[in-house]
Structure 1
Amino acid sequence: MDRVRQAVGFATALYGDRLRTAVGAYVQRDPFSRLRQRPGRVDPYPVYEHIRARGGWVGTRLGNLATVDHAACDQILRSRRFGVRPEGESGADETGGLSFLNENPPDHGRLRRLAAPAFGARQVAGYRPRIERVVAELLDRAGSRFDLVDDLAAPLPIAVITELLGIPDADATAFAAYGEVVGSALGGIRSLGHARALMRANADLEQIFERLVEERRRRPADDLVSRLAAAEGDALRPGELVPMCTLLLIAGFETTVNLIGNAVGALLDHPDQWALLCEDPSQAGRAAAETLRFDPPVQRTARVSFDEVEVAGRPVASHQVVHVLLGGANRDPAVFTEPDRFDLTRPDAGEHLAFGSGAHHCLGRPLAELEAEIALRVLAERLPRLRRAGPVRLRPATLIRGPLHLPVAA
């Protein structure tokens, strides 16, 4: 009976929130609520421009704030007076697989430092031959018509991160499904079915890593899970290892899947830029950077203020949540000339905030950029006649943005 009451309570809260969000979006015309409805998920950029026209800041229906101002977003992400949760609170008992992503200093830094060496510039550079081999093998198997996501964008980073972690015989299809479910849940649970899928995915991943950790305790190998397991009882506290492994797995490929998908979609939507890349495939790194600015995989994050503070001239109350709208900040005309234009030659694309900034700046950025650069370069070299071969299907998510399916033909 208690479980029935809990299920009824969860369903009531879930669908009540969805109704209130819909009312906020369509009746009250709340811009932040509009981002959570289908039109805002399909194309959030007009909503961002609406917010910008209102001064770059808006209030939310819950009394918090959201901003598309680049300077404000950068200041919030870098400031030590903001955190991912209220000051003094720990996320240890409710990480949901987010590990240090859900922690403030000092726990954030303690956990992050354990994984950081595997994602350093020198270490990542050593992955280049492996990434190039995987891209070549995937395209050899793809044929003349294929799904860009299923056949390249997803299996590439999954192969790399599972090898880095030391997961044997990784099932790319299963891990892609886990990533889609977990990634879509970051913006909120959509339905009871979505909640059940998330519970199953988390349970499966927990079981995978519990078995792997136990094996690595007995037989350490040259992989990241072995190194993390060796830190248990010292830098790693009880219960922290499996959530950390889960975070590194999902974050290690989910951003890259959507980066590659968004990049190819943008290039094919702008034939002049695709032609420019095909003429000079060495521009692939610039194409990845411009995609991160133009259509970033992670559209927003959030921070809570520890005390009263002023951000870019705007007062923020103590304990107030600010939604940092990265997708909007990356099209701020105060920073980027003609921000709605996709341009590989743009000199300031690197000013984007797609990977955040400050203490929570994305640990896997060098690896994601390398994987995208190699994938785009090889596509331009091998398939210069690449074109769309069917309608794109976007991920049903509000925080993560990218194609779930992108049919192409060579």
Structure 2
Amino acid sequence: MTGRTAQLRSAARFASRLYGERAGLVVDGYVRRNAFARLQLAPGRDDPYPIYEQIRAHGPFLATPQGNLTTADHAICKEVLRSRRFGVQPEGQEPPADFDLSFLDRNPPDHTRLRRLVAPAFSPRRMTDFRAAVEKTVGGLLDDVDGQGTFDLVPALASPLPIAMITDLLGIPDADHATFTRYGMALGSALSGLRSLRHAQEVMTAGRDLDLMFDQLFELRRREPRDDLITALVAAEGEQVRPDEMAPLCALLLIAGFETTVNLIGNAVNALLDHPDQWSLLVADPNLAGAAVQETLRYDPPVHRTARASWDDVEIAGHAVRRGQWINVLIGGANRDPAVFRDPHTFDLTRTDGADHLAFSSGIHHCVGRPLAELEATVALRALAERMPGLRRAGAVRRRNATLIRGPLSLPVRVG
């Protein structure tokens, strides 16, 4: 068999599996009306919250067509995320080889080892040092649109801010916003599954480009070390991190640094403009920017679900969970659980019961970049309230074509 023939056959098998899975999802969602399947289709992209309530109405768990479980119950989600007897992979199983998400897809001890390397970069002290850079970047981005009257909030502010900050933290010189936005969107969109061969090609190309860029940066930092995260990784190479783990680790930080914050800012402004009374509260008191960020994380978080595999035969909320069975943790649904949050479908900056949201997961996989995402979003919302108090919509929101990650692709706004 020639190399070309082998490639064609491999591509044909991949296409058959991909489109077979998509067809099965469509049947499960639209014909069999399985609520979890619908979450992964257009209804889940456009408005997942009514579907979460359907799942909640089934009780603690809803079975998926694949024989796994789904829950929007806050107490169960929190228990599963915090339990050391649930993992991001079945016990003893390696993560998938085709899409390396570094420690996000690894159980201890590899998760612990890799996370420990990057955690100091997001410490409270580093965030204090970073605040001035965030404020300067936000100010410059708003200066660029000052006087335009109408602009798209996503490419003007929500997207370039986290790209600038995470590339600075990593130590990527002369980072191009448009290029890194493409990388972040391509790889982030793959988290909820590949949609087509074209989508698969976009993800593969972005992955190869990033690997090449990071390999070149590793070599540069070996010769010219600086005070950045890539230099720290290079210094730990061979002892705390293997050479083949370095590029996926940096790619994860880039994706997470972009995906969380761009959608957090977009969702926050979208919710505030949907609720003019809450926008007025923020304008009257910009110190409420932090509260607006936390309420957005509860009300419409950037990441809507994750999954854990049980390592034991256990019973949760009176339901048997088999060893190796997956539980789909619906973060977006848990954050509107009426057993925990008063008037859960109300967006309220003065809320006093919102601190227990699960937007950044929980347990050992709690998002390591949370302090940076919250800092960036808080500074951005405060600056918008102070500099553009008359902000309002200038067109319809266009959402990203994704269901696990939720946020606007385009959010036209008008000043004054």
Range class of TM-score, shorter chain: over 0.9
Matched, 1:38 2:42: yes
CA RMSD of aligned residues (A): 0.9
Choose the corresponding residue for 1:351, options 338, 352, 356.
356
In 2: Cα distance, 1:119 partner to 1:3 partner: 43
State the shift of 1:144 in Å: 2.1
Q: How does 1:8-407 map to 2 (within 5 A)?
A: 8-91=12-95, 94=97, 96-142=99-145, 143-407=148-412
Structure 1 segments unaligned to the other structure (5+ residues) = none
Deviations 1:353-383, CA, capped at 9 Å, x for gaps: 0000000000000110010000000000000
In 2: Cα distance, 1:254 partner to 1:237 partner: 26
Contact 1:51 1:68 in 2 (8 A): yes
In 1: Cα distance, 2:80 partner to 2:105 partner: 16
Contact 2:134 2:379 in 1 (8 A): yes
Q: Which piece of structure 1 moves more, 47-56 or 355-364?
A: 47-56
In 2: Cα distance, 1:160 partner to 1:211 partner: 20
Q: Which piece of structure 1 moves more, 293-302 or 121-130?
A: 121-130
Deviations 1:245-279, CA, capped at 9 Å, x for gaps: 11111111210000000000000000000001000
Deviations 1:217-259, CA, capped at 9 Å, x for gaps: 1111110000011000101123011111111111112100000
Q: Which position in structure 2 is the counterpart of 1:6? A: 10
Counterpart code for 1:136? G
State the shift of 1:107 in Å: 0.5
In 2: Cα distance, 1:341 partner to 1:139 partner: 29
In 2: Cα distance, 1:126 partner to 1:347 partner: 29
Q: Residue 125 of structure 2: SS of its match in structure 1?
A: helix
State the shift of 1:341 in Å: 0.4
State the shift of 1:312 in Å: 3.0
In 2: Cα distance, 1:213 partner to 1:187 partner: 30
Deviations 1:33-56, CA, capped at 9 Å, x for gaps: 001111221100000000111114
Contact 2:60 2:317 in 1 (8 A): no
TM-score (norm 1): 0.98
State the shift of 1:314 in Å: 2.4
Q: Which piece of structure 1 moves more, 273-282 or 143-152?
A: 143-152
Counterpart code for 2:407? G
Q: Residue 351 of structure 1: SS of its match in structure 2?
A: coil
Q: Structure 1 residues 125 and 95 mapped into 2: Cα distance closer, same or farther (>3 Å)?
A: farther
In 2: Cα distance, 1:316 partner to 1:155 partner: 43
State the shift of 1:95 in Å: 6.6
State the shift of 1:310 in Å: 1.9
Deviations 1:105-125, CA, capped at 9 Å, x for gaps: 011000000000000111112
Contact 1:298 1:326 in 2 (8 A): yes
Q: Residue 75 of structure 1: SS of its match in structure 2?
A: helix
Contact 1:183 1:400 in 2 (8 A): yes
Deviations 1:321-376, CA, capped at 9 Å, x for gaps: 01000000000000001000000000011110000000000000011001000000
Contact 1:76 1:311 in 2 (8 A): no
In 1: Cα distance, 2:68 partner to 2:364 partner: 23
TM-score (norm 2): 0.97
Deviations 1:150-202, CA, capped at 9 Å, x for gaps: 01001001111101100000011111111111111100000010000001100
Q: Which piece of structure 1 moves more, 102-111 or 173-182?
A: 173-182
Contact 1:336 1:348 in 2 (8 A): yes
In 1: Cα distance, 2:162 partner to 2:218 partner: 22
In 1: Cα distance, 2:367 partner to 2:317 partner: 24
In 1: Cα distance, 2:57 partner to 2:230 partner: 48
In 1: Cα distance, 2:91 partner to 2:39 partner: 28
In 2: Cα distance, 1:295 partner to 1:363 partner: 20
In 2: Cα distance, 1:315 partner to 1:379 partner: 49
Contact 1:303 1:324 in 2 (8 A): yes
Contact 2:26 2:41 in 1 (8 A): yes
Q: Residue 186 of structure 1: SS of its match in structure 2?
A: helix
Counterpart code for 2:388? L
Structure 2 segments unaligned to the other structure (5+ residues) = none
Contact 2:52 2:333 in 1 (8 A): yes
In 1: Cα distance, 2:210 partner to 2:87 partner: 27
Q: Percent identity?
A: 61
Deviations 1:72-106, CA, capped at 9 Å, x for gaps: 00000000000000111233x72724101110001
In 1: Cα distance, 2:285 partner to 2:335 partner: 25
Contact 2:69 2:327 in 1 (8 A): yes
Contact 2:167 2:175 in 1 (8 A): yes
Counterpart code for 1:26? Y
Counterpart code for 2:138? V
Q: Residue 312 of structure 2: SS of its match in structure 1?
A: coil
In 2: Cα distance, 1:293 partner to 1:107 partner: 30
Counterpart code for 2:77? C
In 1: Cα distance, 2:83 partner to 2:98 partner: 23
